Amino acid sequence: MHKKLFIPGPTEVAPEVLAKLATPMIGHRSKDASKMQKEISEKLQKVMYTENPILLSTSSGSGLMEGSIRSLTAKRAVVFSVGAFGNRWYKMAEVNNIPADKHEAKWGEPTTPEIVDQYLSTGKYDVFTITHNETSTGIMNPLAEIAEVRKKYPDVMWLVDSVSALSGAKVEVDKLGIDVCITSTQKALALPPGMAICSISRKALEHGKQVKHRGWYLDLLEIYKYIETKDHQYHATPSLPHMFALNFQLDRILAEGLDNRFARHKEMAEFTRAWAKKHFALFPVEKYASQTLTTITNTRNINVANLNSELAKVGLQISNGYGDLKEKTFRIAHMGELTLKDVKEVTAAIESILKL
Ligand SMILES: *Cc1c(COP(=O)(O)O)cnc(C)c1O
We report the CATH number of the domain holding residue 284 as 3.90.1150.10
Residues 242 and 263 in one domain: no
C-alpha 194/C-alpha 9 separation (Å) is: 12
Query: CB under 8 Å to 315, separation ≥6 — which residues?
Result: 1, 2, 3, 4
Instruction: Point out the ligand 1 atom lying closest to the alpha carbon of residue 134.
Output: 13
User: Which tens digit of pLDDT belongs to each residue from 126-183?
Assistant: 999 999 999 999 999 999 999 999 999 999 999 999 999 999 999 999 999 999 999 9
Q: Are 149 and 113 in contact (CB under 8 A)?
A: yes
C-alpha 9/C-alpha 337 separation (Å) is: 12
Under DSSP, the state recorded for 285 is -
Residues 281 and 306 in one domain: yes
C-alpha 182/C-alpha 62 separation (Å) is: 9
Q: Are 50 and 175 in contact (CB under 8 A)?
A: no
C-alpha 156/C-alpha 74 separation (Å) is: 11
135 lines ligand 1 (CB under 6 A): yes
C-alpha 76/C-alpha 69 separation (Å) is: 10
Domain edge (last residue) among 223, 254, 285: 254
Instruction: Point out the ligand 1 atom lying closest to the alpha carbon of residue 193.
Output: 9
C-alpha 276/C-alpha 187 separation (Å) is: 22
Ligand 1 center from residue 21 Cα (angstroms): 22
Q: Are 183 and 172 in contact (CB under 8 A)?
A: no
DSSP annotation string for 177-223: T-SEEEEETTTTT---S--EEEEE-HHHHHHGGG-S---STT-HHHH
184 lines ligand 1 (CB under 6 A): yes
163 lines ligand 1 (CB under 6 A): yes
Ligand 1 center from residue 136 Cα (angstroms): 10
C-alpha 132/C-alpha 145 separation (Å) is: 12
Position 167 scores a pLDDT of 98
Position 190 scores a pLDDT of 98
Residues 266 and 250 in one domain: no
Domain edge (last residue) among 230, 254, 278: 254
Position 355 scores a pLDDT of 97
Q: Are 220 and 72 in contact (CB under 8 A)?
A: yes
Position 234 scores a pLDDT of 95
9 lines ligand 1 (CB under 6 A): yes
Low-confidence ranges of the chain (pLDDT < 50): none
Q: Are 198 and 53 in contact (CB under 8 A)?
A: no
Residues 231 and 308 in one domain: no
Ligand 1 center from residue 279 Cα (angstroms): 28
C-alpha 254/C-alpha 40 separation (Å) is: 12
> Which amino acid is residue 128, in one-letter code?
F
Position 353 scores a pLDDT of 98
Secondary element (H or E) of residue 295:
strand 293-297
Main-chain dihedrals φ then ψ at residue 101, nearest 5 degrees: -120, 160
Main-chain dihedrals φ then ψ at residue 123, nearest 5 degrees: 75, 10
321 lines ligand 1 (CB under 6 A): no
Query: CB under 8 Å to 24, separation ≥6 — which residues?
Result: none
Instruction: State in Å, rounded, how far the first CA of the chain is from the last one.
Output: 26
Ligand 1 center from residue 85 Cα (angstroms): 7
DSSP annotation string for 291-355: SSEEEEE-TT---HHHHHHHHHHTTEE-EEPPGGGBTTEEEEE--TT--HHHHHHHHHHHHHHHT
Main-chain dihedrals φ then ψ at residue 182, nearest 5 degrees: -110, 140
Q: Which domain holds residue 48?
A: 15-254
Residues 246 and 289 in one domain: no
Residues 250 and 283 in one domain: no
Position 178 scores a pLDDT of 99
Domain edge (last residue) among 254, 272, 287: 254
Ligand 1 center from residue 22 Cα (angstroms): 25
β-bridge mates for residue 297, sequence order: 281, 329
Residues 106 and 220 in one domain: yes
Instruction: Point out the ligand 1 atom lying closest to the alpha carbon of residue 133.
Output: 13
**Side-chain half-sphere CA neighbours of 192 within 13 A:** 17
Helix then strand count (H, E) for the chain reads 13, 15
Position 207 scores a pLDDT of 98
Residues 261 and 325 in one domain: yes
Residues 278 and 314 in one domain: yes
Position 195 scores a pLDDT of 98
Neighbours of 159 (CB within 10 A): 26
C-alpha distance from residue 174 to each of 167, 179, 224 (Å): 15, 8, 18
Position 282 scores a pLDDT of 98
161 lines ligand 1 (CB under 6 A): yes
Q: How many domains does the chain have?
A: 2
Tell me, what CATH number does 114's domain have? 3.40.640.10
Residues 214 and 107 in one domain: yes
Residues 51 and 91 in one domain: yes
Position 62 scores a pLDDT of 98
Residues 68 and 149 in one domain: yes
